[in-house]
Structure 1
Amino acid sequence: MKNTFFVCLFILTFNASVHAQVLKSPDGNLILEFNLNEAGTPIYSLQYKQKTALKESKMGFVLKSDILLNKDFKLTNTQFQSENNTWRPVLGEQKEIRNQYNEMKVDLLQDKSERKITICFRLFDDGLGFRYEFPVQENLRHFIVQEETSEFNLAGDHKAFWLPGDYDSNEYKYTTSRISEIQTLMLDALNESLAAQSPIKNVAVQTPLMMKTSEGLYINIHEAALTNYPAMFLNVDSKTFALSSHLTPDAVGNKGYIQTGSHTPWRTIVVSDDARAILASKLILNLNDPCQFEDTSWIKPVKYIGVWWEYFIGRGSTWAYSDDQDVVIGPTDFSKLKPNGTHGANTKHVKEYMDFAAANGFDAVLVEGWNEGWEDNTAFKKERIYSFTKSYPDFDVKELSMYAAHKGVKIIMHHETTSSTVEYERQLKDAFQFMVDNHYTAVKTGYVGPIIPRGEHHDGQAMVNHYSYVAREAAKYKIMVDSHEAVRPTGLNRTYPNWFAQESARGTEFESFGGNNPDHTTILPFARLMGGPMDYTPGIFQGDLSVYGSKKNKLSSTLVKQLALYVTMYSPLQMAADLPENYMRFVDAFQFIKDVALDWDDTYILEAEPGDYITIARKTKEKQEWFVGGITDENPRIATIDFSFLPKGKSYVATIYEDGKDADYQTNPQSYAIRKMVVNRKTKLKQQLAAGGGVAISIQ
């Protein structure tokens, strides 16, 4: 249903006392006010249940060179409409999503210059989205954005869960602090050794930014539908609690190259007094364009294992075939190089993984290090580092393709670019055709290190366009994409559902580099996952890496929490990341990973508090089965699991995977127990979670 009505305001001369334009959410809990101040600057504010979510905040742009598109405006037209419909995602947390909002568009004309912009506000029951639209006009055609001046002025010194602003990496640890403490804590937060780092010089944080106010409001700021525009960070004023947009620059310092007739991404503010509603919000997805593909039958969820974790844990397995540091892609004959004897992606070893996948019901095997060029993978100075169509001599593409078909599994292609995106785009079509010819249906792309073209950033406009270009090109070959080290997602998995997962945050691999904090996975769903599914790569059963000899790291979770992550960290692409031998040591616990679904009819957020705990139940798509996952931070707690999501009048058998009585993520992470009980919709379970622990439940 779509209702449209118009309100036109004709203002012949500049009028600083224009009455505020008011927009309410469908349920009336959110109220947006828009106005022009005395300088003709657009101003908006947001209230939730009579509490201030955002104070009056300015809007606009500075164009190159110092052209101010943020003042001297007059309001020429206001248009309202409402929308209320539902749509079905190809893959998702629920089979149907409601899209209901009230919209207000304000047309603004700048005095003297006669430049025009339109600001579109959409107010949902769970928050606000707004974007800038640039009408085709005589006095503005092509222009360069020097900075966007959108503000998000906070009403107090909120508790925030934040990552430091960095144009090239989102793989930092989360810091939890008050807004006023961010400046003081920034240097410590940036103290990480990452493959590519470009910290923002002023105090800035990344989005999604999750906050909690002293009044009990939960506020999340991010963006939706990021295309042909740089990613947004948030400048932080630690004294006034004011946030303002900060766009990623390109190699020469410009932010965005825009042509009129286009628009910016949406700026999103999700608000509730219930943390569960933040996790349940579909506002960001709703602000993205519908699916661009007519046929989506080839887009499937994937549960996989891989020749991957062994590279990180110090077992002597390597990506590279030889130790020769002077290879040149093209002229080098790799068959004449001396093998190093540690290359993991060899035919025999990959077959072993295929056997394990087939025997345990997995869809696919990821193989990293299969292709020529890994000897130079840390150079960051060569444009052409890899071939994406030539395998190492000990990786027989044709033989493995036939073996995979015989076993009923797929191989997931790996395209690590080492951020040489120029070369990747040169090879892209040949690489995708190579995949089709050899029956690969999914690819994991990687962007480790500084970007080539040099001076560009992972989060800049050029790279934003690159990521979506890869997804669109892949769709032409019916290939699904899992991108790592890419810009954080903004809901484009609705538009391009073959772009079905991203890393774009600190994943499990960092447990081998120096660890993640126990609260990390209780923050990620409120932050990074607001934009889309994450390939977090859970399922590590052997958390003490010292058993492999060269590392002393320990995981920040119990074994049972690793199981629960398959439910709390939504993704249609889920890896069982540990070594097969470790799963064979804990066969009964491994059963949950084998059973858990990847695509869902419904999702129920049972309990949630950012940084502390999350408990989620999900119903498998088109099946009468449910899975529950509950996790906690470093503090043990009792989770309350309410089974009222089950159908009336029926009882089910629940298999409960729980922390052992002596379990603790630091001292005894592998202690667990498994029990069964009969449950119905009236059942309420009080479940003990260990420090850094969790619970996982299968219901059939």
Structure 2
Amino acid sequence: MKKLCFLLLACSFFTLSAQQLESPSKQIQVEFSLDAKGTPTYSVTYKGKEVVKTSKMGLSLKEDTALVQGFSLVNKEETNVDETWNPVLGEQSTIRNHYNQASFHLLQKETNRKLDIVFKVYDEGVAFRYEFPSEDAVRYFVVSEENTEFNLTGDHNTFWIPGDFDSQEYVYSESKLSEIDNSKLDLNNGIALKSIESKYRVQSPLMMKSKDGLYLNIFEAAVVNYPVMHLDVNTENFELKSKLVPNAVGDMAYLRTPSVTPWRTIMVSDDARDIVASKMILNLNEPNKIEDVSWIKPMKYVGIWWEMHVGKSTWDFAGSQNAQNAASQELVPSGKHGATTENTKRYIDFAAKHGFDGVLVEGWNVGWEDWFGNWKEDVFDFVTPYPDFDLKEVSDYAKSKGVKMIMHHETSASVANYERHLDRAFNLMKEYGYPAVKSGYVGRIIPRGEFHDGQTMVNHFNYVAQRAADYKIMVNSHESVRPTGYSRTYPNYIAAEAARGNEFNAWSSGNDPKHETILPFTRLLGGPMDYTPGIFEIKMSVYDPEKTEQVHTTLAKQLALYVTMYSPLQMAADLPENYEKYLDAFQFIKDVPVDWQDSKYLEAEPGDYLSVARKDKNSESWFLGAITDENARKTEIKLDFLTPGKKYKATIYADGKNADWEKNPKSYAIKTRTVTSKTKLKLELAAGGGAAISIVPIN
């Protein structure tokens, strides 16, 4: 009897008292507890400073008792993990996965329902998720709301974009948390589809900086069979609450036992470099599920793409004003179609001459005449080329030149149609030797009523990667859900866009000069981005004197982006004839690798600047990129990451003396010098500028 009383007392004690968990370095501490109502709560401190105040946790269920209170702690399990793994492609060849974990097994007395809340605490942050364990009978349930809170300690400086369920393609705003208001934004910025329901809703990852110099980032990892998490902001008391993206009937997620939610993540450091260098999001995903990865290769590519954005050619064959039956072969050519056999051969020749791996061709297939804006289901069949594009001839020519072709699948957001045709489309790719596909999802989703960021679409994007792996095909998705580390599980999901890319500079208000200094702190935390850098003809007036649009960087910064914006799939996005004008600067794009042995984040400040050095996976060469915002910047870079005692030849591609992103963007200078690990390089970055450096051992 005494023993039984002790166990009951212990259970009561655990129910009421706070449970603490520390990071391996002991600098981050999480406190988990159940309040008087049995509601799960947590808080986070960093080096003794409160970062997240006591915040509630839980989920609401449709037509069922909410999992928000009435819990008791059944037991607690703790473990620590310190392991390493090798990504197929990545910023470094080895990644350490080091954390302390606590699993809190809860029981809701009223319903006899089990809920586990699992925390992992890394040296760079905290992750937690809800787990629904196996029960005697399988339970099916519908999540109607997630009640996760992030109660912050102050009015932090914040880098944010609106909580749009259909697009991430926004310029970042920088403001205090209290000043977030979507209604005050100029949303006439080239985005075709907007689904913004609240003035005070923002997207994650949300990057912040406190008044006392702490950097915070709230995001999520391993979004699988669950909608994307946005954040509702209480601008008066700086509280954030999770907001899931609904499906066509207003529900959030359909789940069953056993299952798990994505990880909710809070990164924190007093050094901004720790945020951009973190591999926590990748680490929180399941390990690689593809046994044979020999076919997953990094790629640098050129393609028929930018010429459509600048108005030189079109995607459609007949002209969009002549909206003929997309399946008909009786199309009357407009004379401006870009994806012709002859033009593709020109790009193949350029790729072969300059050592590029692949050529992308957009607009090769029928359907572009009436593809946009009609919410039409059967726009593309993904197998029928236009009359002026010969698949076999192009494929044979590319093979003869040692160049791979990259397929393009614009779905027009008709996802149901794409899934019906997916296997036929992949079979066609295998027939003609295409190793990679770029997919697009511009427009309103079909099934109608679904959002890009809902559970249905999350499952679709993950399914395409899985099915592509069966065909040994790599996937680069555009207008997709933003990545949350799934490329660890399916490394053939080689890249994604899922943010405002370089193309917006061609035909909209563009991307301001600080844009590329923010993306590494936000979008790139979840996985590689196909940003399409390398634009040399900065001003669009080159193509039409009436145009005022331009790229908001210098030419040298476009080079630096190949290092600062990580992707194992990088495009030299400009036209071949433009590169021919600047072959000395183009040399850096030819030389820079896209797969790395090691990466060093040397300087970082969100919205201001970033300097990164990366070591080629297959040699002893290093490459360095430094970028700045609209402000010119002087900096001194220590090369102490180089091997001591070795000499290197540094080729520095820098802004010219009078360079300026707006007034003189194409001014650049190239110089070489011998450097060692003791060298300190002084760099002068122009407004909106940058520097790119190759550092090659001298034998």
Alignment TM-score, normalising by the size of structure 2:
0.97
Once residues 10 and 678 of structure 1 are traced to their aligned partners in structure 2, the CA distance between those partners, rounded to angstroms, is: 72
Could you say which residue in structure 2 is the equivalent of 1:290? 287
Residue 357 (structure 2) aligned to one of 363, 367, 385? 363
Could you say which residue in structure 2 is the equivalent of 1:424? 418
Once residues 196 and 9 of structure 1 are traced to their aligned partners in structure 2, the CA distance between those partners, rounded to angstroms, is: 58
Could you say which residue in structure 2 is the equivalent of 1:643? 639
Could you say which residue in structure 1 is the equivalent of 2:108? 110
Partners of 1:432 and 1:477 within 8 A in 2: yes
Residue 205 (structure 2) aligned to one of 204, 208, 211? 208
Deviation at 1:16, TM superposition (A): 9.3
SS in 2 for 1:68: coil
SS in 2 for 1:542: coil
Alignment of 1:308-347 (within 5 A): 308-323=305-320, 325-330=322-327, 332=328, 334=329, 336-347=330-341
Residue 618 (structure 1) aligned to one of 614, 617, 631? 614
The amino acid that maps onto 1:51 is K
The amino acid that maps onto 2:82 is N
Deviations 1:307-348 (A, max 9, x none): 000101122444334556443344x2x1x2211111100000
Is residue 528 of structure 2 the alignment partner of residue 533 of structure 1?
yes
Partners of 2:535 and 2:555 within 8 A in 1: yes
Could you say which residue in structure 1 is the equivalent of 2:626? 630
Partners of 2:83 and 2:98 within 8 A in 1: yes
Once residues 19 and 63 of structure 2 are traced to their aligned partners in structure 1, the CA distance between those partners, rounded to angstroms, is: 32
Deviations 1:525-566 (A, max 9, x none): 001001000000000000010111152212100000000000
* Structure 2 unaligned spans of 5+: 1-5
Deviation at 1:685, TM superposition (A): 1.3
Partners of 1:16 and 1:40 within 8 A in 2: no
Is residue 668 of structure 2 the alignment partner of residue 669 of structure 1?
no
Partners of 1:651 and 1:678 within 8 A in 2: yes
Once residues 11 and 454 of structure 1 are traced to their aligned partners in structure 2, the CA distance between those partners, rounded to angstroms, is: 55
The amino acid that maps onto 1:607 is E
SS in 1 for 2:66: strand
Could you say which residue in structure 2 is the equivalent of 1:263? 260
Once residues 298 and 502 of structure 2 are traced to their aligned partners in structure 1, the CA distance between those partners, rounded to angstroms, is: 20
The amino acid that maps onto 1:479 is I
Could you say which residue in structure 2 is the equivalent of 1:3? none
Once residues 29 and 13 of structure 1 are traced to their aligned partners in structure 2, the CA distance between those partners, rounded to angstroms, is: 29
Is residue 398 of structure 2 the alignment partner of residue 404 of structure 1?
yes
SS in 1 for 2:180: helix
Residue 520 (structure 1) aligned to one of 515, 522, 525? 515
Deviations 1:571-623 (A, max 9, x none): 00000000111111111000000000000000000000000000000000020
Could you say which residue in structure 2 is the equivalent of 1:63? 61
Once residues 9 and 374 of structure 1 are traced to their aligned partners in structure 2, the CA distance between those partners, rounded to angstroms, is: 70
SS in 2 for 1:681: coil
Alignment of 1:483-632 (within 5 A): 483-514=477-508, 515-549=510-544, 550-632=546-628
Deviations 1:607-645 (A, max 9, x none): 000000000000000201000000000000112211000
Alignment of 1:426-505 (within 5 A): 426-505=420-499
Alignment of 1:232-251 (within 5 A): 232-251=229-248
Deviation at 1:54, TM superposition (A): 0.8
Alignment of 1:683-694 (within 5 A): 683-694=679-690
Once residues 656 and 10 of structure 1 are traced to their aligned partners in structure 2, the CA distance between those partners, rounded to angstroms, is: 70
Partners of 2:407 and 2:437 within 8 A in 1: yes
RMSD of aligned alpha carbons: 1.5
Runs of 4+ in 1 over 3 A off after TM superposition: 8-17, 189-193, 316-330
Deviations 1:38-83 (A, max 9, x none): 1111000111111112111110011113632111111111100010
Deviation at 1:139, TM superposition (A): 7.9
Percentage of identical aligned residues: 56
Partners of 2:553 and 2:661 within 8 A in 1: yes
Call closer, same or farther: CA 1:649–1:16 in 2, change over 3 Å: closer
Once residues 625 and 591 of structure 2 are traced to their aligned partners in structure 1, the CA distance between those partners, rounded to angstroms, is: 13
Partners of 1:114 and 1:139 within 8 A in 2: no
Deviation at 1:250, TM superposition (A): 0.3
Once residues 29 and 14 of structure 2 are traced to their aligned partners in structure 1, the CA distance between those partners, rounded to angstroms, is: 22
SS in 2 for 1:635: coil
Deviation at 1:137, TM superposition (A): 2.4
Partners of 1:14 and 1:111 within 8 A in 2: no
Deviation at 1:513, TM superposition (A): 2.2
Partners of 1:202 and 1:235 within 8 A in 2: no
Once residues 453 and 320 of structure 1 are traced to their aligned partners in structure 2, the CA distance between those partners, rounded to angstroms, is: 28
Greater CA deviation, 520-529 or 321-330? Answer: 321-330
Once residues 380 and 466 of structure 2 are traced to their aligned partners in structure 1, the CA distance between those partners, rounded to angstroms, is: 22
In the comparison of the two structures, how many residue pairs are matched?
A: 689
Alignment of 1:127-166 (within 5 A): 127-138=125-136, 141-166=139-164
Partners of 1:11 and 1:76 within 8 A in 2: no
Partners of 1:303 and 1:575 within 8 A in 2: yes
Once residues 162 and 521 of structure 1 are traced to their aligned partners in structure 2, the CA distance between those partners, rounded to angstroms, is: 14
Residue 199 (structure 1) aligned to one of 188, 196, 216? 196
Once residues 505 and 271 of structure 1 are traced to their aligned partners in structure 2, the CA distance between those partners, rounded to angstroms, is: 23
SS in 2 for 1:69: coil
Partners of 2:21 and 2:30 within 8 A in 1: yes
Partners of 1:164 and 1:186 within 8 A in 2: no
Once residues 316 and 646 of structure 2 are traced to their aligned partners in structure 1, the CA distance between those partners, rounded to angstroms, is: 52
Once residues 21 and 15 of structure 1 are traced to their aligned partners in structure 2, the CA distance between those partners, rounded to angstroms, is: 11
SS in 2 for 1:466: helix
Once residues 474 and 359 of structure 1 are traced to their aligned partners in structure 2, the CA distance between those partners, rounded to angstroms, is: 30
Once residues 94 and 588 of structure 1 are traced to their aligned partners in structure 2, the CA distance between those partners, rounded to angstroms, is: 29
Call closer, same or farther: CA 1:137–1:11 in 2, change over 3 Å: farther
Deviation at 1:135, TM superposition (A): 1.2
Partners of 2:585 and 2:653 within 8 A in 1: yes
Partners of 1:314 and 1:551 within 8 A in 2: no
Partners of 1:173 and 1:189 within 8 A in 2: no
Once residues 337 and 307 of structure 1 are traced to their aligned partners in structure 2, the CA distance between those partners, rounded to angstroms, is: 21
Call closer, same or farther: CA 1:355–1:22 in 2, change over 3 Å: same
SS in 1 for 2:562: helix
Could you say which residue in structure 1 is the equivalent of 2:44? 46
Partners of 2:91 and 2:598 within 8 A in 1: yes
Deviations 1:14-41 (A, max 9, x none): 7796211110000110001000111111
Partners of 2:658 and 2:664 within 8 A in 1: yes
SS in 1 for 2:185: helix
Partners of 1:482 and 1:499 within 8 A in 2: yes
Alignment TM-score, normalising by the size of structure 1:
0.96
Partners of 2:627 and 2:689 within 8 A in 1: yes
* Structure 1 unaligned spans of 5+: 1-7
Deviations 1:501-538 (A, max 9, x none): 00000000100122110000000000100100000000
Partners of 2:317 and 2:331 within 8 A in 1: no
SS in 1 for 2:119: strand
The amino acid that maps onto 1:270 is M
Call closer, same or farther: CA 1:189–1:141 in 2, change over 3 Å: farther
Could you say which residue in structure 2 is the equivalent of 1:29? 27
Partners of 2:206 and 2:217 within 8 A in 1: yes
